[in-house]
A and B are shown apart, each in its own frame.
Chain A
């Protein structure tokens, strides 16, 4: 069985008269793979990863998602996280007064408790975050600052990948992590994300641009168009998109290719 199997997924905005966004997404991801999802604004890329993470502002109206043999849609957002799903946010949220280390420790221990493991002691936790801070080239002062409060756009994105590295997920969902990053930060962030690549896990990268994929080479690239995956290919598809724009996919779909 595939590690992640998405079948005919339909998602709409969870509000009376909410708009349909995903209109039948099919995607199979095996353990060890990295998939990139590209597409224009409004094509449904971000909705897909947020729905996979369990955001309640989106309502699944049809379809199934199987994750590691479990019905993912049956789990709450926090249960999914404890089962190893991690969403790196496109717009990380500020939580005033809550320090990053306190927040992360709560996250790490929630997952450990779920697995029936004892809480991580402070020494082990400190060692873990120091290691991951070095990986992401972060200043230790970040830990004592309130989560994302007063962080620059780039710092927020870096903090997301740092949290991802600490949480050590099995399914990493990166929602436009590259936007707003300069080239040096992009390398650091990509390097951090790549460290999660390995057997038994998978990464989905949502991006507009090909440049992040220079640093994390995807096994597959998918193009989303109007709530569906319109075209799939290998890393060369990303290069082709960079060169020809998304219009050619639209034309191909219109022509029934």
Chain B
């Protein structure tokens, strides 16, 4: 007779359905990394010389650094010379209407709303603008004009380097310096595309801005870079989604995201990360080494990170907030799921510099199969950050008895008027909970997704509605087969 343990295992075994490979002709750099490749990328992107200089400076720095190994993840050595650092679909687009229909079909298949015309014709309300990044380049950005009329800049990073060099030069690297860490430095040298967004003073962005990242080409790394600036009193909600085909080789993804919020500005950044996680035995999958950091530069500014991490073979990611402005607020809401042989070491850093700064951390880790899930978080309240507060809640849910959950908090408070709270719990989906649901006629799969969604509720409610629905479904699918 199946026990709850074996049932949960089977549920975690369903297939990754975004794993298709699209046959799109690509223009790629040869594998390997050297100054020539960096010049090639810069040239392909038609970059000004200051950009190339910055890349080379980062590359030279990177050569002096070593891969970090402090995270609770294990992988064979990465051959940085085997990776392709640039790959672009061959057709060159000039405007949205000229985007290769094959590419649009890929996004349609992924369920990404790319149809600007339907909205413009009034068929549906435009509520989401999308920048689609395919391998190393942005292939389409929707609603640019609608946003442009309000003074909002939303375009690919490459375009921003050419069109808005002053803003890029001023802010790029101001939150994550080119020398920050091994992966961020690598990104600084070879980054290809990503999104750029600037919300001018006092403007509340009327729609969700979104970037959809797709890795398609084989042996290709994706190194995107995103920069979002919310000027005084501005606000924006930004979404990010990602998928990749199923391939036997591991693929490298090392992104950098920088957010800057001025006085009274607010940025909400939501991610649903669903890179290919590898197969049941841990073959293939994306190595997701990402540096995301926001700076609350102005007073009473706010940066909120929400992430749902279900994909990738390895996730190494700590979306953080530097609370520099007085009365600024940082938030981090995270759901990280590891199944099969997936490993995640994720969390946040909240650095309190300004007075009366507040931060909230809610982390929900779900481990199934042989998955290993580690929450790593740092709360640092500096001497001058008087009357500051942090609240951290860190919960782990285990499905089955071969997975692991780990919690590594670092808390440092340098003054006496501040307070940091840390709560942690570990629980297991029990046979009793499953039987309770089943005895009410609810199927095992529905029961597990209900219990897991309930566990993640505090995070899901932070997501924009459509994304929350998507995230719930995704968790269900990611756990499919962990029961049966």
Where the two chains meet, the residues of A that have a C-beta atom closer than 8 Å to any C-beta of B are: 14, 53-57, 59, 76-78, 80-82, 86-87, 89, 91-93, 95-98, 102-104, 106-107, 110-111, 114, 146, 163, 167
Contact = CB atoms under 8 A, between A and B. Distances in A.
Given A59-B1, A77-B435, A97 B453 contact: yes
B1 A95 contact: no
Given A56-B1, A97-B457, A78 B438 contact: yes
Given A86-B440, A98-B454, 17 more contacts: A77-B435, A77-B439, A80-B439, A93-B435, A95-B433, A95-B436, A95-B451, A95-B454, A96-B455, A97-B454, A97-B457, A98-B453, A102-B450, A103-B437, A106-B440, A110-B440, A167-B440
Interface string B456-475: 11100000000000000000
B439 A110 contact: no
B2 A98 contact: no
A81 B438 CA distance: 7
Contact of A93 (B4, B436, B446, B457): B436
A81 B455 contact: no
Contacts of B412: none
Interface string B1-41: 11110000000000000000000000000000000000000
B147 interface: no
B441 A114 contact: yes
Nearest to B432: A93
A78 B456 contact: no
B439 A56 contact: no
A59 B2 CA distance: 11
Q: For A80, A86, A95, A163, which residue has the most chain B Cβ atoms within 10 angstroms? A: A95
B442 interface: yes
B444 interface: yes
Nearest to A110: B441
B: contact size bracket: 20 to 34
B450 A95 contact: yes
A256 B83 CA distance: 84
A57 B1 CA distance: 9
Given A56-B3, A93-B433, A98 B440 contact: no
A97 B443 contact: no
Contacts of A55: 435, 439
A82 B441 contact: yes
Nearest to B425: A96
Given A81-B438, A111-B441, A57 B431 contact: yes
A92 B436 contact: yes
A167 B440 CA distance: 8
B6 to A, nearest CB: 10
12 contacts: A14-B1, A77-B439, A78-B441, A95-B451, A96-B455, A97-B456, A98-B453, A98-B454, A104-B440, A106-B442, A110-B443, A110-B446
A245 B456 CA distance: 49
Contacts of A103: 437, 440, 442, 450
B443 A81 contact: no
Contacts of B432: 91, 93
Given A55-B435, A56-B435, A146 B442 contact: no
Contacts of A163: 440
Interface string B209-245: 0000000000000000000000000000000000000
Closest 7 CB pairs of A and B: A97-B454, A81-B441, A98-B454, A107-B440, A97-B457, A110-B441, A77-B438
Contacts of A110: 440-443, 446
B431 A106 contact: no
